[in-house]
């Protein structure tokens, strides 16, 4: 079939197809403008008739552009959100977060022109979303609204950013003052499930083995999961684990080796005596770089490890997540009266409350802190 210029066949998230007419041009003042119009294929007896209508709309728009007679209707929220990928690039992980927020309520305005949305509309939408959401989630939701308006302004549309006029409601969720931890019984259940993971898939069996190692290392070191998954054999000595990189996402990939979360995350973590033989065993088993990978050598993605742990928790009827191990470590060290500076250095925190007057802990302090921790 002949491709018609400026006409693109699209599909909504619900699966309905439509033709989108999109023409970018410069107006009489040299400003970039974009003409948008869509034709729902299901509104016509046949696809060919819908295409004819799209062609007629395109031809009329081109004539009006050439004669400076066109009046540009503002794009819809859905059209602007689709354009966001191109104009405001982000990592795949961030994109997934945006998609979740968008589906959480902004998509109600998917087919509404941005110029027709009032401040009251957005305020009501945010208030509805805020029910049982954390302050952080509410803040991100408002930010996404502002990004949608930013895309409209970047495309040259004369709109008022109404997201700046709303008041973000306070979260009604009851905040827990303590981070969740897990006891040894829960940890043993998770490890036992992983050690005898029931599946005919060699890929999943191998991944279960790698996550078993991940949990063991986190339990003894308090490292972040993304830090453990980025470890190479060269990062591990008989005394310390060198934390100098992390697994994150990029614009094109869900798992890539990146820099650590913060500069303070670069650190030397002492190795507990009971962990050393397990690390040696891992280095003998795995010759990949990083050490903990999928069977095919690819990086273990956050969703892959989360899905496996969620599956185990559902089967066992328990609550567990990887960060509980990090919280366990922090709690144990604080209860052992280890200095705040040493705790911060072991965990790689960038604490705003810690001032420069606190001297950095010595290697001897950190070694003593880790070796004296009782795990059983």
Rounded distance, CA 279 to CA 284, Å?
9
**pLDDT at residue number 260:** 82
Is the pLDDT score of 286 beyond 70? yes
CATH architecture observed for domain 77-165:
Orthogonal Bundle (1.10)
What percent of the chain is predicted at pLDDT more than 90? 48
Burial profile 186-216: b = 16 or more Cβ within 10 angstroms, e = fewer = bbebbbebbeebeeeeeebbbbbbbbbbbbb
Phi and psi at residue 190, in whole multiples of 5°?
A: -65, -45
Q: What is the DSSP letter of 263?
A: G
- What residues have CB less than 8 Å from 216, skipping those under 6 apart? 191, 275, 278
**pLDDT at residue number 52:** 94
Q: What is the pLDDT of residues 221-239, one digit of tens each?
A: 999 999 999 999 999 999 9
- Interval 262-283 mean pLDDT: 92
The whole-chain average pLDDT of the chain stands at 86
**pLDDT at residue number 93:** 80
For 184-371, CATH gives: 1.10.443.10
- Going by pLDDT thresholds of 50, 70 and 90, the confidence category of residue 135 is confident
**pLDDT at residue number 361:** 52
Query: Is pTM, for the whole model, over 0.75?
Result: no
**pLDDT at residue number 166:** 92
Direct distance between the N- and C-terminal alpha carbons of the chain, in angstroms, rounded to an integer: 70
Mean pLDDT comparison of 180-184, 271-275, 313-317, 351-355, highest-scoring range: 271-275
Q: Is residue 173 classed as helix, strand or coil in its secondary structure?
A: coil
- Interval 68-75 mean pLDDT: 73
For the chain, how are helix, strand and coil distributed in percent, rounded to 5? 50, 10, 40
Map out the domains of the chain as residue ranges: 7-66, 77-165, 184-371
**pLDDT at residue number 333:** 83
Is the pLDDT score of 148 beyond 90? yes
- Going by pLDDT thresholds of 50, 70 and 90, the confidence category of residue 375 is confident
- Interval 123-143 mean pLDDT: 91
Is the pLDDT score of 359 beyond 60? no
Nearest alpha carbon to residue 57 among 114, 8, 15:
8
What class does CATH assign to 7-66? alpha beta
- Interval 182-193 mean pLDDT: 91
């Amino acid at each position: 079939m002949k491709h018609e210029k400026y006409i693109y066949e699209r599909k909504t998230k619900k699966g309905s197809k439509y033709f989108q007419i999109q023409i970018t041009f410069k107006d009489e003042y040299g400003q970039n403008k974009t003409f948008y119009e869509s034709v729902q294929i299901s509104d016509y007896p046949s696809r060919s008739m819908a295409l004819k209508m799209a062609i007629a709309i395109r031809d009329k728009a081109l004539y009006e552009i050439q004669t400076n007679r066109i009046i540009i209707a503002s794009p819809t929220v859905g059209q602007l959100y689709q354009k966001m990928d191109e104009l405001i690039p982000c990592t795949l992980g961030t994109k997934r977060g945006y998609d979740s927020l968008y589906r959480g309520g902004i998509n109600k305005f998917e087919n509404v022109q941005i110029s027709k949305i009032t401040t009251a509309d957005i305020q009501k939408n945010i208030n509805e979303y805020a029910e049982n959401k954390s302050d952080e989630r509410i803040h991100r939701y408002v930010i996404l609204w502002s990004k949608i308006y930013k895309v409209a302004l970047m495309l040259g549309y004369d709109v008022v950013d109404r997201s700046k006029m709303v008041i973000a409601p306070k979260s009604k969720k009851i905040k827990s003052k303590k981070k969740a931890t897990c006891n040894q019984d829960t940890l043993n259940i998770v490890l036992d499930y992983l050690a005898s993971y029931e599946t005919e898939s060699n890929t999943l069996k191998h991944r279960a083995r790698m996550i078993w190692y991940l949990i063991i290392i986190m339990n003894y070191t308090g490292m972040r999961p993304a830090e453990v998954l980025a470890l190479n054999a060269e990062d591990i000595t008989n005394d310390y684990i060198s934390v100098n990189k992390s697994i994150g996402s990029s614009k094109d990939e869900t798992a890539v080796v990146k820099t650590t979360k913060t500069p303070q995350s670069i650190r030397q973590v002492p190795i507990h005596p009971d962990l050393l033989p397990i690390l040696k065993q891992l280095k003998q088993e795995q010759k990949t770089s990083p050490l903990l990978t999928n069977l095919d050598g690819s990086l273990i993605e956050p969703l892959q490890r989360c899905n496996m742990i969620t599956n185990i928790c559902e089967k066992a009827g328990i609550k567990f997540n990887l960060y509980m191990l990090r919280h366990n470590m922090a709690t144990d060290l604080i209860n052992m009266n280890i200095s705040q500076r040493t705790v911060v250095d072991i965990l790689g925190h960038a604490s705003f409350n810690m001032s420069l007057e606190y001297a950095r802990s010595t290697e001897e302090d950190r070694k003593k802190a880790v070796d004296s921790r009782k795990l059983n």
